[in-house]
Amino acid sequence: MFGQVRYWALKELFIPLLRTYEAKRRGSRPRKGSLPLSSNRVLKGLIMSHYYLGRYAKGVLPVAWVTSGAPVELLRPFGFYTIYPENHSALCAAQKMGGGLCLVAEERGYSKDLCSYAKIDLGVFFSGRTPVGRLPKPDLLFASNNICGTVLYWYRVLSKEYSIPLIVFDTPFNYGPLRQEDLDYMLDQIEEIIEKLQRISKREFRMERLIKTMRLSKATCELWQEILNTMKQIPAPATIFDIFSHMLPIVSLRGLRSAHSYYQVLYWELLQRVRDKVSPLSEERIRLLWDNIAIWYKMRDLSELMMRHKANLVGATYTNAWAETIVHMDPTRPFESLAKAYSLVILNNNLYHRLELIRKLATEFKVNGVIMHSARSCKPYSLGQYDIKRILQERYNLPCLILEGDIADERYYSDEGNKTRIEAFLESLI
């Protein structure tokens, strides 16, 4: 009883005060020459409250750890408090803790070639070190292989260590258009998943709750799409590094009102910047597209480097992933639309799909070139980049640069080497 009272007191009284305080206090140090978004302070309060409230959710609500590509809408009707280890690993990387936590996992026998998100998460498990204080112990692990196969092995380790169930939503890879037999296979899985969730949460499934969640999730993703569309303006009202920083709600809080409310704030700020022709750059001479996950520990350095050369990254295949398939989300056909929306994402599709997506985004955002992050950790995202680069350059005359690095482990990034390559690439576009 005390735990429930404490949790609801925190949620209804303390957390709103915390968000208000963070929204009013001075934000973090801005990048040199940048014009920071006022929404940054609101976002900081939202992130802090999410992780802080999570500390006290255990015993009050069932806690689920979820992969970024899993259909979280299925969990919301059962009242699960959700934590996303991938987002948490990115947060650790942004705090320059990635390499150290990866080393902890490597000392326990895990390969250096393993995804750094997974190694960071395991490093947190073994060491207890985290920039958010502590994470709530999960009651359930929920994963989907639509982004990669590594998450399945990673979550199996967690399932064994925590002695808790793991639910997997298996999405067949799309070598072409989605096949009916694959759709039927996923629909059968969703029904089985709901039965398991009822047993684990000890709550009955109510379709109206799922439909309500899906409507909110769809509205949030559509709002996210509008946020991305503001970057089509010349000059763009922000940089892709700003947009990367604002991804946590669309990933971790999807299907919750807090995410939708927050993106309304961000959208209106960007829209006002467009109206006032406000840009973070004094002059936007070069517009670029980013492919792959962000380099979380180098966001500030890369942003400042681009600004010095009057270059702006205005779009990304990564940020687009949470908007691309929202057209398939139909609350009137909940199970079928969930299967389509989560199986047709970029990493569960063939390379031709990715090539055409990059071409489409390059045209819509009026870019001069593409920077492809060849991420040591994310092999599914990096696979095929050299072929895509060759086709884009030879067939479509779209200049490309492949940048070697890692999403979260700073030990695998060459400062001087990459700086030289980026500057040479930018000079070639002038």
- 53 to 11, 93, 160, 325: CA distances (angstroms): 7, 22, 26, 30
Instruction: Give the C-alpha separation, 417 to 403, whole Å.
Output: 10
DSSP one-letter string for 149-195: SHHHHHHHHHHHHHT--EEEE----BSSSPPHHHHHHHHHHHHHHHH
What pLDDT, in 10s, does the model give residues 113-167? 999 999 999 999 999 999 999 999 999 999 999 999 999 999 999 999 999 999 9
Contact 328, 71 (CB under 8 A): no
Residues 75-104: what's their mean pLDDT? 97
Q: 307: which 2 tokens?
A: 């600004």
Q: Count CB-CB contacts under 10 A for residue 128.
A: 9
Q: Looking at residue 238, what is its pLDDT?
A: 97
Q: Is the pLDDT of residue 31 over 60?
A: no
Q: Is residue 163 exposed (0-12), middle (13-18) or buried (19+ Cβ within 10 Å)? A: exposed
Angle of CA points 164, 170, 171, to nearest 5°: 150
Instruction: Give the C-alpha separation, 95 to 122, whole Å.
Output: 17
Q: Which residue has the tokens 């949460």?
A: 201
**8-state DSSP, 349:** B
Write the secondary structure of 22-78 as one string of H (helix), E (strand) and C (coil). Answer: HHHCCCCCCCCCCCCCCHHHHHHHHHHHHHHHHHCCECCECEEEECCCCCHHHCHHH
Smallest CA-to-CA distance from 58 within 137, 141, 158 is with: 137
Q: Among 52-66, 239-253, 338-352, which is the least confidently predicted range?
A: 52-66
DSSP element (H, E) containing 98: helix 98-107
Contact 94, 297 (CB under 8 A): yes
Name the pLDDT band for 16 (thresholds 50, 70, 90).
confident
Task: Describe the strand order of the beta sheet including 140-144 as a list of residue ranges.
Answer: 81-83, 63-66, 140-144, 166-169
Highest mean pLDDT among 36-40, 222-226, 325-329: 222-226
Q: 39: which 2 tokens?
A: 């929404």
The rounded radius of gyration (Å) of the Cα atoms in the chain is 21
Looking only at the bridges linking them, the beta strands covering 140-144 and 166-169 are parallel
Q: Count CB-CB contacts under 10 A for residue 204.
A: 9
Instruction: Give the C-alpha separation, 55 to 57, whole Å.
Output: 6
What pLDDT, in 10s, does the model give residues 332-363? 999 999 999 999 999 999 999 999 999 999 99
The answer to pTM > 0.85 is yes
What pLDDT, in 10s, does the model give residues 365-397? 999 999 999 999 999 999 999 999 999 999 999
Name the pLDDT band for 430 (thresholds 50, 70, 90).
confident
Contact 290, 63 (CB under 8 A): no
Q: Which residue has the tokens 């999570």?
A: 54
Q: Which residue has the tokens 């946020």?
A: 227
Q: Is the pLDDT of residue 226 over 80?
A: yes
Contact 205, 282 (CB under 8 A): no
**8-state DSSP, 145:** T
